[in-house]
Amino acid sequence: MTQTPQTRHDAAPTLPAQYQPGEVEQRRYEQWVSAGYFRADASSDRPPFSIVIPPPNVTGSLHVGHALDHTIQDSLIRRKRMQGFEALWLPGMDHAGIATQNVVERQLAAQGLSRHDLGRDKFVERVWQWKAESGGAILGQMRRLGDSVDWDRERFTMDEGLSRAVQTVFKRLYDEGLIYQAERIINWCPRCLTALSDIEVEHSDDEGELVSIRYGDGPNAIVVATTRAETMLGDTAVAVHPDDERYAHLVGTEVELPLTGRRIPIVADAHVDPAFGTGAVKVTPAHDPNDFEIGQRHGLPNLAVMDERGVITVHGPFEGLDRFEARPAIVDALREQGRIVAEKRPYVHAVGHCSRCKTTVEPRLSMQWFVNTGPLAKAAGDAVRDGRVKIEPAELAKRYFAWVDNMHDWCISRQLWWGHRIPVWYGPNGEVVCVGPDEAPPSGEGWRQDEDVLDTWFSSGLWPISTLGWPESTPDLAKFYPTSVLVTGYDILFFWVARMMMFGLYAMDGKQPFNVVALHGMVRDQYGKKMSKSFGNVVDPLDWIERFGADATRFTLARGANPGSDVPVSEEWCQGSRNFCNKLWNATRFALMNGATVAGELPDVTELSTVDRWILSRLQHVIAEVDEQFEAYEFAKVCDTLYHFAWDDVCDWYVELTKPTLAAGGPAAEATRRVLGHVLDNLLRLLHPVIPFVTEELWTALTQDETVMRAAWPSADGGLVDDAAEAEVGMLQRVVTEVRRFRSDQGLKPGQRVTARLAGLADAGIGAHEPLIRSLARLDQAGDEFSATATVAVAGGVTVELDTRGTIDVAAERARLEKDRAAALREAEQCRGKLGNAAFVEKAPEAVVAKIQTRLQAAEADLVRISAALEALPA
């Protein structure tokens, strides 16, 4: 956008020629924090709006998923503050049991020590020391992104108050029989030496070997297939389907287990899929969750053959071997006996890995603590079904129900030292006592506390209530619970959202932890590909903030955020967002240079030009649209609406249309200055929730007020909607756009003047705008020597005759257009060929077919445009 130098008011503020985010962001953020703009007041009579931040790990760093999640939450909070709500965005961190313990253990290992050298108490002290010195780097990174959280309320899941909440709910659940101890199959990490939750297990397709093994000999032999031959040492049965006639005669008999000499039964169980493999499966109850269930149904013994580190413990030639050493050794031994019927290598299958250390997870029979989730999960499902909690987008509610309606009991114990230690004590004579937060633990010789700690998700499941002071009846809890909305990725809908629902409803007597669950997708690259270091497409938001600014980073992420859908991003799009911030900067700088003001009321509409009435009318529509989109969590639409209004309507059209008026001076110019100030004032307010830094800098310069954060959110004024002005300016825009398109097609330089005769303007209702049209389209008045060599027809009866003699190299332009037409023809023919291939259309994904159809439409439109341009060329 070019700027026309104008005489400005002496008192008018100025802006630097260019926007430099690095010179603004830290300064503005420190001002906001020191002024207390982020603080929420529980004693306020304003309506509450609250969000508790999904607590990042204390070991974590701001990644692009965090940046998306925080941008959405910050946008919601900032808007609600401007709307007059008492808005609380509560920050904090999760103690991240396994991840944090691993960090400190690695530090000790570098010194040649282990946690056992320190002992439990000294090790926990060491972790707290690490937390104080190095943990929580992400909190500083949140500041760089612009998070407007109430830092005075920052919480940590190991804080005294939150620990009290954990102990309180454990005791209550235990006393009601909803927490129990049992021996079950769990996910086990042989490196971290602890049970893992499902979310701590990452599955990948790994290459292995599928071997088929013959158990027994003669007519009673039976063949099973396995990828984990080492577990056969713990087999206690072979299972077949009850209706499988192939094995009906074997059910109830026994077969010898190779390499062991043990005889094991053949049982019938409906879990077996007769169509998979041979239809017979080995049953190892101590090392497979499905086998454990079969074993429970048939009273089979549980025979563990590995220790906690994955080392074979069965007496014999394989004792002492690691599980991955034992696997080929056992296969070789079976091969020597002629019991390997078939081998398939490589065999790709899903394998679970510890998300922290990447070690292959081992299903293991272990004594652990569990939550009976039955009644809790039912309550969590009912809260969504009866409307107390709304899931956005609504279609993801089905996924939520699929999880909570089929939830297994939750293993909550972890074999770690860092975390909330299970408040259960064991006496010398077999006594078991659960200790509440206000109870003293048993004393006397022989009493000991359970060694395990609780799953990190246990404490984070209490986050919406514990951070507000529960189990105490605090003003914060009374004011801000239930929280208004939970913003999070759909990938933890089950793991975290469901747990908060269960605990919140349980602890707060049926009162839900949040009213809305707003789910967003995963951030992907511009091609929709998952981000991965191995792909080389990972985005570091801190790098983008450094190079493009926090606002550009935020706008890029928010502009792709459709509810529940994955979010594509690219560096080029972030550069475009930076350009958008620069566009706003230049437009506001132009306004200030030309004396735009926000003081006083707008002039009466009768004193305004058509152009002024048009932009005010457009603003009312935009305010209404943005409000509707925010309420529907349509952040991509919010950004798109504001982007096009700012860039197209305000910067590209209104600023250019007002330059002649501002240059002429007088009452009309004064009215336009007021309208220009009003429009920018409202536009910057609307944009502030998404791009807070640049809007704060521009708004305070424009208004000379303290902060846009405390400005009122714009409201649409129906009295300023002017359909006639919009229609009139819309016609003007069509004329200018068509002439500009013709000029571009003819290869005319943007600043090159062309003589033209305009007809039909008065009949189209835009006769008064001829000077503006000529200025914007670079058209000179026709003189005596005028000769029309081309005509541009515009809908509405307007024609523009142009004399292009001497302005175009006709031969070169004809050659260029012919080349473009040939390319468009090839593209159209290629697309028609694919779409005419019935086999392709039938087999190709719908998205691919739709893309080719779009390409064909574009090519056909190009052919029409190019043909018209060729016809318009002088002979």
pLDDT tens figures, 835-867: 999 888 888 777 788 888 989 998 998 888 788
Query: What is the DSSP code string of 644-686?
Result: HIIIIIIIIIIHHHHHHHHHH-SHHHHHHHHHHHHHHHHHHHH
Overall CATH class of domain 579-721: mainly alpha
Q: Do 43-165+459-520 and 579-721 show the same overall fold?
A: no
Domain 43-165+459-520 fold is: Rossmann fold (3.40.50)
Calpha distance 380→378 (Å, rounded)? 5
For residue 717, pLDDT over 70 is answered with yes
Which one is the CATH code of 194-363: 3.40.50.300, 3.90.740.10, 3.20.20.70, 3.10.450.50? 3.90.740.10
- Of 29-38, 58-67, 588-597, which gets the smallest average pLDDT? 58-67
pLDDT digits (tens, 9 = 90+) for 289-344: 999 999 999 999 999 999 999 999 999 999 999 999 999 999 999 999 999 999 88
**Residues 416 and 453: beta-carbon distance below 8 Å:** yes
* pLDDT, mean of residues 787-793: 84
**pLDDT band at 4; cut points 50, 70, 90:** very low
Cis amide linkage into residue 16, ω under 30° from 0:
no
Which residues does the annotation place in the binding site for ATP? Answer: 533
**pLDDT band at 537; cut points 50, 70, 90:** confident
Of residues 808 and 391, which shows the higher confidence score?
391
Cis amide linkage into residue 13, ω under 30° from 0:
no
Mean of per-residue pLDDT scores for the chain: 92
Calpha distance 131→457 (Å, rounded)? 19
Both structure tokens of 744: 């571009």
Which residues does the annotation place in the binding site? Answer: 533
pLDDT digits (tens, 9 = 90+) for 496-506: 899 999 999 99
What's the one-letter identity of residue 693?
Answer: F
The pLDDT value recorded for residue 496 is 85
The pLDDT value recorded for residue 772 is 93
Of residues 319 and 746, which shows the higher confidence score?
319
For residue 225, pLDDT over 80 is answered with yes
Of residues 869 and 780, which shows the higher confidence score?
780
* pLDDT, mean of residues 403-429: 94
For residue 825, pLDDT over 60 is answered with yes
For residue 11, pLDDT over 60 is answered with no
| Of residues 526, 515, 521, 517, the one with CA closest to residue 562 | 521
Pairing of strands 222-226, 201-215: antiparallel
| Of residues 369, 520, 588, 388, the one with CA closest to residue 65 | 520
* pLDDT, mean of residues 184-209: 87
**pLDDT band at 793; cut points 50, 70, 90:** confident
**Residues 680 and 650: beta-carbon distance below 8 Å:** yes
* pLDDT, mean of residues 767-772: 94
Both structure tokens of 533: 């270091």
pLDDT digits (tens, 9 = 90+) for 593-643: 999 999 889 999 999 999 999 999 999 999 999 999 999 999 999 999 999
**Residues 677 and 658: beta-carbon distance below 8 Å:** no
Strand partners, 155: 92
pTM: 0.85
Would you list the domain boundaries of the chain? 43-165+459-520, 194-363, 579-721, 731-872
